Every structure is written in C-alpha cells, then in structure tokens.
A and B are shown apart, each in its own frame.
Chain A
Amino acid sequence: MRYAMAIDTKKCVGCSDCVVACQTENDVPIGYCRDWVVEVTDGTYPQLETEIRSERCNHCDNSPCVRCCPTGASHYAEGGIVLVTKNECIGCGACIQSCPYDARYTHPDGYVDKCTFCMHRVKKGMEPACVAVCPTKCMYFGDLDDPNSPVSKILKTRKFKVLAPEAGTKPNVYYLI
C-alpha cells in the first residue's frame, strides 16, 4: 500500500478551505497549520502565470526527517505515511530543519507536529479532511498500488510534477499541471 495525493493546480481556487478543515479536524493550535496555500506568480507583465497550490507534508519515500530523528519518533507508518509519535518526540527540531518543504512545526506543547494524511480518517475508509472539504474537488487521495484508486486514475490521464525533486526525497504529493 502506498498512499498518495494528487492536487490539481488548474482547479484549485486558493480558498484555504483545506487549511481550515485540517485545523478543525486535527485540533491544530491557533496560529499554526499543517497545510497551507501557496500562490506563485511567474514571468513579467503582461505574460504572467499564477499557480495555486495547497501544500502539506509530502510523505516522502526517502524522508530526511525520518533519517535525522534521534529517537525514532518520526517514522514510516502503514502505506508510507510519515508520522510523529508525539510521546517520543523530544522537540530537538532537527527534522524541521531537514525538511525541504517546511512541512513541520513545533507544537506549543513542545513536540513536533505535521500532516498525517488524516490517518485516523483513512483507517475508517474516509478521505483526509482537506480532500473531503475541497469545494472544487481538486484533490485526489488513495493508494498508488490500487489502479482503481482516484489518485492512480488521475495520474494516468494528467501531466504532473512534484515539489523540489532535486532534493531527492521522492515525495508522494503530486501536483497536476
């Protein structure tokens, strides 16, 4: 099983509903977020292009954060999801520095926190909160090993990219372009 997410940058309107849904679902403390929306403008006037992306932890196959964790609190869980066991985290911050995507933050309670792909929902057969709430349905979630999962199907038909491929992290969040 390999969980992955695909996000359609052509459909995303940048409403930040996914951010609010995540904060509500996961009790994220005020002022912090596990996912966030980025707008990147490229080019010079009048040839401008804007890309809107909802970003989160990429649940990389080769995670620098899991590699550098001193206690093993950061680990790969079922389906390649990268998780932090909050009771084992000492809050040293090495993983925060090693992540090229800045996906992690120090929770006010001292441990490091990040996106879990809403594992508690996925286990029950539900979609992650951000995917479920998206008003333009621009997010797809599922198992890459299952050819019929929404994410496998969409990646077969559309062009996609990953963020910072040069970091060699083998991310599992795909952006449809």
Chain B
Amino acid sequence: MLTILFDGVAYGMLLFVLACGLSVTLGLMNFINLAHGAFAMAGGYCTVILVNRYGVPFALGLPLAFVVTALLGGLFERTLYIHVYARPHLDQVLFTIGLVFMAVAAVDYTMGSSQQFVQIPEALTGQINVFGIGMGKYRLLIIAICGLLTIALQLILTKTRFGSRLRAAVDDQRVARGLGINVGAVFGLTFAFGSGLAGLGGALGAEILGLDPTFPLKYMIYFLIVVTVGGTSSITGPFFASILLGIGDVAGKYYVPKLGAFVIYAIMIVVLIWRPQGLFARATAK
C-alpha cells in the first residue's frame, strides 16, 4: 500500500517536471502545444546517446539533457512557434501535431523503433528499506531531484524579478506590455526553460516511463491532463494535479489492471465537467 503511494508520488513528481513547462506556456500565451512531449523525448534520447555511446557519467548526462533541450526549445520558439501564437487554436493544434509526427518519424529513422534504456549507475539500482517499506533508490532520487526543482521553481516564480514579470505577463499580457515588460522575451525564455525541464524529465523518466519513438504521443494526454486539471494560473495547481494523477495511475494499474488508463480518463472528464477551468484554478477575469 505504502509502496504504491511511494511509486505514485515518484511518478507524479516526474510528470510534474515534464508538464510544468507546458502549463506555463499555455497560461502565458494561451498556446496549445501538443509537441511538448517531443522535447521530453529529445532529452531522453540525448541522455541515451551521451551515456550509452560516449560514456558520459549519468550525473553529467542529466544537466546536459536539460541544456540541449532548452537550446532546442529556444531555437524552435524563435524560428517556428513565434509565427503561430496569434493563430486560432485549430492552427496551433495542427501545427504542433505536425511537429509531433515529424519528431516521431525522425527518431524512428535515426534511432530505430525499439525501446531505449539508459545505463544508470550501479549505486542507484536496487531498493532500500525504510520502516519496512521497500523504496527503489532510483525513485528516491527522482523524488529528491523533482522536489528540489519544484521548490526552486516556486522560489524563482515568487521571489525573483523575472518571476514577477512572468506572473504579471500571465495575469494580463496587455497591461504587462504597457508596463514595459518585454513579454516576448519573457515567453521565449520560459519556453526554453520549460522545454529544458521536459528534457530533464524525459531523461530521468526513461527508466520508468520507457523511451521509444512514440513517447510524445503516448504521454501527450498525460501532460494535457496535468495542465487542464491543475489549471494554468499557478505552479501548485499542476503540482498537485500531477501527484494525484501519478498516484491514481499507479494505484489504478495495481488494483484494476485490466481497466488500464480508463480510470485516469474518467477522473479527468469528471473533473473537467465539474470545474472546466481546472481543479485548482482561481477565478480569472479573462
């Protein structure tokens, strides 16, 4: 029972790191980015290549995955995404789905369609027992890293100047522009950072979520659930939503394995009918 809870929390934390970039871009520009998972996949493959082929230590592979995907995200944002912000939602959906299809086929072409595994260090495999609960060391590491990241994100968002600019831009873009905040630059940076986080999540999660070319399609729905259920106005909303989703998914797969993801979709639809703005969203004037 507690092990399920523990696994669920680890899974949820991972989902949060993967999805929080998406929630910020969605909240900031009202942009539906279905290609977010593609960046996560890029991070995962980046780590696989670095660690497995070039023997880079795992501890160095993770930050590199972050940097590479952040650069990639920034590049895509400046060259492609920037043209699509003002378009209707239909165009955004089409555009990003097109990107996902391309990413899936391109990775399939270059890396093959088989499942990839990151060689994690010996020290991180196996379990340790705390108060009689078996905990995977790797999952503990995930919880630690993701927990620290969450705290850091929350601090950046609430304490720094950049954070207050970002929040101002999310709350009301036009007024923020009027106050002299360069919303475009804020958005570009946030997009790159969010993509980087997704890449880090993909690298960390390769062990748990699995990594193959269909990754962006498989997990797209999960990211979107986190974002829609958690709301886009804060960072705590998506956080609780992803923990909830993680526990729900692990518990659902354990107790009613045959129903699979049915439980998750059902919960999502119920929540969205109950509160279309998201579970933790505050009322906005938009």
A binds B: no
